[in-house]
């Protein structure tokens, strides 16, 4: 587009703007609310203004001719421009001299537009929610004071923003209502829609309550599911102390068991010597309490235990096996596997051995296994 064509179009837009503004001021002063150029044809069709419009018809013919030439051929002569500008001056002068008594309508419309533009936007709850989430994380980490402080800060900040929004909203509504009353008192015809308050998306108080409820639920869940609090010193000492106590108990138990088994072997040897030199008949009638096994024979319950307590050789083998058990236990590092293997062997004896021959074989086999475990330290040996 050439500079001449651009100048012609700019001139036409200036003519249209000045004549339109003059007509709008005229109609507004007569109580006709019209704000857009496209609505001026509806305003010019109103009864009561035809006499005035007829007085400026020739001027509008000149301006419309200039606008059409600029739009069609993109060019205007100097004479056409001069004629159009004279018509503009005449239209502005006649509109100004025929203004009505409702000039305050324009002021009311401007005040209404300004009040509507000041309508507050709904607050965002992102910052309070993130603050509450940080407080919930602190509660989960057992930082109770900091977590509760952040949670209270988030709720207070959200309540402050909501209160400010509602207060500003009520104020604007009151201002708009007052201006609308003044606007209605000055208005005779409303062609263009007056400025109005926008519809509020959603329900800010309900959203605020929802965010607060979610924040409290998250904080409560974080508090309930937080791990138990341990100080750094106790957390570091607890595993070491437990391991040391476990080793100490195992060593004491092994030492006590070995001592008791050695004492039992000495007593059993003394009883065996006494039995050898005693009368055979007395030996046959010796009470069960004279035989010493690794357990209390007065509390024997199973068949295997009764047979052991009634046979000195089996009782001696039981004492010897107890000593082997203590040695093997002291040699292994995996105590759980060793205890499980011992329980399995004991259950086999109690379930399957109901005669002396079975017990003799069991003690021999178990003794061999325990000696091997004591030498290798492997509790899984079989």
Q: Kindly calculate the radius of gyration of the chain based on its CA atoms and give it in whole angstroms.
A: 54
For the packed helices 204-224 and 126-140, what is the interaxial angle rounded to 10 degrees? 10
Q: Which tens digits make up the pLDDT trace of 274-283?
A: 333 334 433 3
Per-residue confidence (pLDDT) for residue 200, from 0 to 100: 74
Per-residue confidence (pLDDT) for residue 227, from 0 to 100: 76
DSSP class of residue 289 equals G
Count of Cβ atoms closer than 10 Å to residue 112 Cβ: 20
Per-residue confidence (pLDDT) for residue 33, from 0 to 100: 93
Per-residue confidence (pLDDT) for residue 333, from 0 to 100: 84
Q: CA–CA separation, 70 vs 84, rounded Å?
A: 12
Q: CA–CA separation, 192 vs 334, rounded Å?
A: 93
Q: Which tens digits make up the pLDDT trace of 209-229?
A: 888 898 889 888 888 887 765
The kind and range of the H/E element at 32 are strand 32-33
Q: CA–CA separation, 311 vs 322, rounded Å?
A: 17
Residues 6+ apart with CB under 8 A from 134: 150
Q: Where are the domains positioned within the chain?
A: 3-101, 112-195+206-222, 303-376
Count of Cβ atoms closer than 10 Å to residue 67 Cβ: 19
Q: CA–CA separation, 205 vs 165, rounded Å?
A: 10
Q: CA–CA separation, 30 vs 51, rounded Å?
A: 14
Q: CA–CA separation, 95 vs 88, rounded Å?
A: 11
Distances (CA, A) of 21 to 26, 91, 96, 235, 337: 9, 10, 11, 82, 101
Per-residue confidence (pLDDT) for residue 57, from 0 to 100: 92
Whether the CB-CB separation of 123 and 161 falls below 8 Å is answered with: yes
Q: pLDDT (tens digit, 0 to 9) for every residue of the chain, 382 residues total?
A: 788 888 889 999 999 999 999 999 999 999 999 988 888 899 888 988 899 999 999 999 999 999 998 888 888 888 888 999 999 999 999 999 998 887 788 899 999 999 999 989 888 888 988 998 998 899 888 888 998 999 899 999 999 999 999 999 999 999 999 999 998 988 889 999 889 888 876 688 888 888 889 888 988 888 888 776 544 444 444 444 544 455 555 555 555 555 555 554 555 544 444 333 334 433 343 444 457 788 888 888 888 888 989 888 888 988 989 998 898 888 888 888 888 888 998 899 988 998 999 999 989 998 898 888 888 888 876 6
Report which of 300, 335, 334 is spatially closest to residue 318, judged by C-alpha positions. 300
Using CA of residue 363, residue 367, residue 368, residue 369, what is the dihedral sign? positive
DSSP helix/strand/coil, 140: helix
Whether the CB-CB separation of 150 and 135 falls below 8 Å is answered with: yes
Whether the CB-CB separation of 275 and 296 falls below 8 Å is answered with: no
Question: Looking at the DSSP assignment, which residues form a beta bridge with residue 32?
Answer: 189
Q: CA–CA separation, 18 vs 32, rounded Å?
A: 19
């Amino acid at each position: 587009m050439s500079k001449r064509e651009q100048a012609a179009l700019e001139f036409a837009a200036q003519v249209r703007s000045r004549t339109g503004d003059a007509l709008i001021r005229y109609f507004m002063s007569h109580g006709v609310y019209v704000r857009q150029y496209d609505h001026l044809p509806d305003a010019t069709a109103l009864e009561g203004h035809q006499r005035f419009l007829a007085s400026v018809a020739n001027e509008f013919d000149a301006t419309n001719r200039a606008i059409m030439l600029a739009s069609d051929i993109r060019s205007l002569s100097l004479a056409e421009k001069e004629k159009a500008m004279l018509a503009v001056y005449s239209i502005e002068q006649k509109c100004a001299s025929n203004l009505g008594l409702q000039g305050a309508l324009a002021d009311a419309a401007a005040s209404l537009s300004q009040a509507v533009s000041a309508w507050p936007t709904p607050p965002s709850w992102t910052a309070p929610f993130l603050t509450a989430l940080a407080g919930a994380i602190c509660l989960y980490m057992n930082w109770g004071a900091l977590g509760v402080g952040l949670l209270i800060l988030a709720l207070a900040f959200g309540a402050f923003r909501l209160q400010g929004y509602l207060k500003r909203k009520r104020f604007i509504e009151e201002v708009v209502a007052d201006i609308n009353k003044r606007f209605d008192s000055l208005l005779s015809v409303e062609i263009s829609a007056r400025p109005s308050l926008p519809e509020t998306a959603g329900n800010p108080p309900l959203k605020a309550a929802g965010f607060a409820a979610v924040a409290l639920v998250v904080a409560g869940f974080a508090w309930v599911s937080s791990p138990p609090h341990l100080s750094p010193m106790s957390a570091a000492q607890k595993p070491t102390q437990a391991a040391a106590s476990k080793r100490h108990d195992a060593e004491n138990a092994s030492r006590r068991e070995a001592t008791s088994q050695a004492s039992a072997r000495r007593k059993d040897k003394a009883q065996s010597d006494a039995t050898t030199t005693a009368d055979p008949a007395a030996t046959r009638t010796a009470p069960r309490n004279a035989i010493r096994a690794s357990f209390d024979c007065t509390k024997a319950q199973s068949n295997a235990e009764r047979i052991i307590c009634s046979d000195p050789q089996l009782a001696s083998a039981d004492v010897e096996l107890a000593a082997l058990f203590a040695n093997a236990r002291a040699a292994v590092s995996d105590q759980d596997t060793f205890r499980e293997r011992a329980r399995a062997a004991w259950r086999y004896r109690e379930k399957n051995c109901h005669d002396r021959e079975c017990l003799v074989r069991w003690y021999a086999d178990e003794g061999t296994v325990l000696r091997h475990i004591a030498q290798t330290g492997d509790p899984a040996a079989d």
